[in-house]
Chain A
Amino acid sequence: MNRRTLLGASAAGTLLIAMRSLAANIVVSPILSELARAYAGPGAALREGRVKFDITPLVENGNSVPVEVTVDSPMTTAQHVTGIAIFNEKNPQNDVAVFELTPLCGRARVATRIRLATSQQLIAVAKMNDGSCWTHTVEVIVTTASCVEE
């Protein structure tokens, strides 16, 4: 997808996202909105809700931050989550991980540990089998280690 398509799609996408995360009153950073739209695909519904992105608001060490994403879904063949993407705002690269789920999962809950270079926002985007996407944006503070080692 080239930059022009991306910009065009994100312009349409911004209207749908409405730039506000319901839970924490965050103004979603533009780069995260763009990435969420790119993952969702042009024209796909992209809304806040149904996804819960669990992460501690104050991170002790940015090398290892536990996160958990839970999506409200029955995970049946008719209705299930097909993917969950996590993006970050301020690391050298915005991608974190993209998970693929199937009805065999039985439950849409994924946990992992990630790296955060600095205080920033993160977004979790869940894609459903009907093509619709749901997001949750969080903001975390990352403290620097007292003695940085080699």
Chain B
Amino acid sequence: MRLALAIAALVIALTSAAEPRKSGIDYASAATQTLQKDDAQNPGMLWVKDGQARWTERTGAANKACADCHGEIAKMRGVAVRYPAMAAPSAATASATSTQRVINLAQQINQCRVERQQASAWPAENASLLGLEAALAFESRTLPIAPPVQPLLAAAQARGEALYRQRIGQMDLSCRDCHDGLAGKRLGGNIIPQGHPTGYPIYRLEWQAVGSLQRRLRGCMTAVRAEPYPYGSSELLDLEAYLMKRAAGMPLETPGVRP
């Protein structure tokens, strides 16, 4: 019995000893880390505050607020960490077609907006959309990223992994080349992070604004001189799905601050 306990203790010690995954904030300068940690200074909190106000704002032909159906925004804790996921059931159609797709949180917000509030969908990177996304993700801050187990999602994650490994652009680089192979080394003045989406939507110092994971992926693609996939494309969604699976278990930090 004692031997079994000793072996179990050893196994636990070895497996928990090194969590090799690190969030991008761990690679950032002290000033950037302070900016993220301090809610009074974190510029992303301005978008969170805006989103919190939008949560209770009546809008659309249905004149409804998110809060009218969902209640207090605090009740949405646990939601953001499971996206991308299969869409929530559609209000409109009898056929279940809209449940048969994987969407990210921004698309889920837009689906609710169009179908429940009867308002127009916000375009990608719209400030109000980012605000709501930030406010919702903020409610899940510190929770582990937890993609659900769904066959459609698993297929998207597999496609995303293939895209992650695929060399692209004039520079003929894959995401894996830098973010798995060279993480921790320098590119110009910055340290290459592992690329886990732990803080989205992030306040990026380079953007001087909050932006989505899709914006960041497109930026990286342009940087290796590849034609970036369009906003809302299935490729970007598959990549998002894979990256969240790759980061599963890591705590959410939204609003993250990154250089």
Known A-B contacts A60-B29, A61-B259, A65-B31; A146 and B187 likewise in contact (beta carbons under 8 Å): yes
A91 at the B interface (CB under 8 A): no
From the candidates B28, B34, B189, B208, name the one contacting A66 in the complex (CB within 8 A): B34
Q: Is B189 a contact of A143 with CB atoms below 8 Å?
A: yes
Q: Is B30 a contact of A56 with CB atoms below 8 Å?
A: yes
Q: Give chain A residues whose Cβ lies under 8 Å from the Cβ of B29.
A: 56, 58, 60
Q: Give chain B residues whose Cβ lies under 8 Å from the Cβ of A113.
A: 41
Q: Is A60 a contact of B31 with CB atoms below 8 Å?
A: yes
A residues touching B (Cβ–Cβ < 8 Å)?
56, 58, 60-61, 63-66, 113, 143-149
Q: Could you say which interface size class chain B belongs to? A: 20 to 34
Q: Give chain A residues whose Cβ lies under 8 Å from the Cβ of B222.
A: 149
CA A147 – CA B223 in complex, angstroms? 6
Known A-B contacts A56-B29, A147-B219; A63 and B205 likewise in contact (beta carbons under 8 Å): yes
From the candidates A64, A65, A145, name the one contacting B189 in the complex (CB within 8 A): A145
CA A66 – CA B32 in complex, angstroms? 9
Q: Give chain A residues whose Cβ lies under 8 Å from the Cβ of B223.
A: 147
CA A63 – CA B34 in complex, angstroms? 16
CA A143 – CA B35 in complex, angstroms? 18
Known A-B contacts A143-B189, A146-B189; A60 and B206 likewise in contact (beta carbons under 8 Å): no
B residues touching A (Cβ–Cβ < 8 Å)?
28-32, 34-35, 41, 187-190, 205-208, 219-220, 222-223, 259
From the candidates A60, A63, A149, name the one contacting B28 in the complex (CB within 8 A): A60
Q: Is A61 a contact of B205 with CB atoms below 8 Å?
A: yes
From the candidates B28, B206, B220, name the one contacting A148 in the complex (CB within 8 A): B206
Q: Is A143 a contact of B205 with CB atoms below 8 Å?
A: no
Which of B34, B187, B259: most chain A CB closer than 10 A?
A: B259
From the candidates B28, B35, B188, name the one contacting A144 in the complex (CB within 8 A): B188
Q: Is B34 a contact of A60 with CB atoms below 8 Å?
A: no
CA A146 – CA B189 in complex, angstroms? 6
Q: Is A60 a contact of B259 with CB atoms below 8 Å?
A: yes
CA A60 – CA B258 in complex, angstroms? 10
Please name 17 further chain A to chain B contacts, defined as beta carbons within 8 Å, in addition to the given A66-B34, A145-B190, sorted by A numbering.
A58-B29, A60-B31, A60-B32, A60-B190, A60-B205, A61-B32, A61-B189, A61-B205, A65-B31, A66-B35, A113-B41, A143-B189, A143-B190, A147-B206, A147-B219, A147-B220, A148-B206
- A148 CB, min distance to chain B CBs, angstroms: 7
Known A-B contacts A56-B30, A147-B219; A63 and B206 likewise in contact (beta carbons under 8 Å): yes
CA A20 – CA B30 in complex, angstroms? 29
A-B contact pairs, 14 of them (CB 8 A): A56-B30, A60-B29, A60-B189, A60-B190, A60-B205, A60-B259, A61-B189, A63-B206, A66-B35, A143-B188, A145-B189, A147-B188, A149-B206, A149-B222
The 4 closest A-B pairs by CB, nearest first: A143-B189, A146-B188, A60-B29, A146-B187
Q: Is A63 a contact of B208 with CB atoms below 8 Å?
A: yes
Q: Is B188 a contact of A145 with CB atoms below 8 Å?
A: yes
Q: Give chain B residues whose Cβ lies under 8 Å from the Cβ of A143.
A: 188-190
CA A113 – CA B30 in complex, angstroms? 14
